Every structure is written in C-alpha cells, then in structure tokens.
C-alpha cells in the first residue's frame, strides 16, 4: 500500500516570497511522483512529474520539485510566488511498474498568496 503525507494543510505567504509545499510518501515499490494544482471549482491540472532521470523537475510557471529517495520526499518549491498561484496543491504517487497507474493523493495544501 502507498500513502502520501502533505504536512501543511494551509500555507499563507506574501506575494514575491519563496514557498515550499512539503510532500512525503510511503511505498514498498518504485514510484512515480506528481504535483497537481486545483483552482476553485475546477479539475486538477498537472504541474510537474518525476518519472525517472534527473531528480529535479521543473514546471513552465516557475515551480520545481526534487525527488529525494532517501527521505522519501517530493517537496514543491517556488522562489517567488504570485497572487495567481493561490490554489490547492496535491501531491500524488503511483507505482512505476504494471499497467494500471492508480494515483494515491495527499490531502492537499491550500496555498494563499497575499498582496
């Protein structure tokens, strides 16, 4: 069984400040890792993912996450946030093997960027 822990349910920050959203996972097998973002009353949008290769992955809007196998973490970071980054962020994990890539989600972190 897999599990995902997002330690912070809410993270308030000021505009242009750096932010880190924490994600830890538990799994007995190799995994793929994902961050999804959800804006109010909308579905989830894929922000970035780690499948293999470089442990540092980046999104087009300035977010990055680093896969740390020894710490079983996949924290999401952005050096300078904008008001428009206000949203719910979900970390998710799936098995890297098999043909059915079911996702296990964390409970989400609400990022609120204040002016």
Partner 1 sequence: GAVVSQHPSRVICKSGTSVKIECRSLDFQATTMFWYRQFPKKSLMLMATSNEGSKATYEQGVEKDKFLINHASLTLSTLTVTSAHPEDSSFYICSASRLSIPFSNTQYFGPGTRLTVL
Interface with partner 1 (CB under 8 A): 32, 34, 36, 41-46, 49, 51, 90, 94, 96, 99-103, 105-108
Closer residue to partner 1, CB minimum distance, 86 or 96: 96
Nearest to partner 1 of 25, 34 (CB atom): 34
Nearest distance in Å: CB 16, partner 1: 27
Q: In the complex with partner 1, which residue's Cβ is closer, 42 or 84?
A: 42
Q: CA 108 → CA 6, 22, 29, distances in Å?
A: 6, 10, 23
Least distance (Å) between residue 8 CB and partner 1: 14
Strand partners, 37: 45, 89
Q: Closer to partner 1 by CB, 5 or 15: give it.
A: 5
Shortest distance, position 14 Cβ to partner 1, whole Å: 23
* C-alpha neighbours within 13 Å on the C-beta side of residue 64: 11
Q: What number of CA atoms fall less than 13 Å from residue 14's CA on the CB side?
A: 2
Residue 36 CB contacts under 8 Å (≥ 6 apart), including other chains: 44, 45, 46, 47, 89, 90, 92
């Amino acid at each position: 069984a897999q599990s995902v822990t997002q330690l912070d349910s809410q993270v308030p920050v000021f505009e242009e400040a750096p932010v880190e959203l924490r994600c830890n996972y538990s799994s007995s097998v190799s995994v793929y890792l994902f961050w999804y973002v959800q804006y109010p009353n909308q579905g989830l949008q894929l922000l970035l993912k780690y499948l293999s290769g470089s442990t540092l992955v980046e999104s087009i809007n300035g977010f990055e996450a680093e896969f740390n196998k020894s710490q079983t973490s996949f924290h999401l970071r952005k050096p300078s946030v904008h008001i428009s980054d206000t949203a719910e962020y979900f970390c998710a994990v799936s098995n890297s093997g098999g043909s059915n890539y079911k996702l296990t989600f964390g409970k989400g972190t609400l990022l609120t960027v204040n002016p």
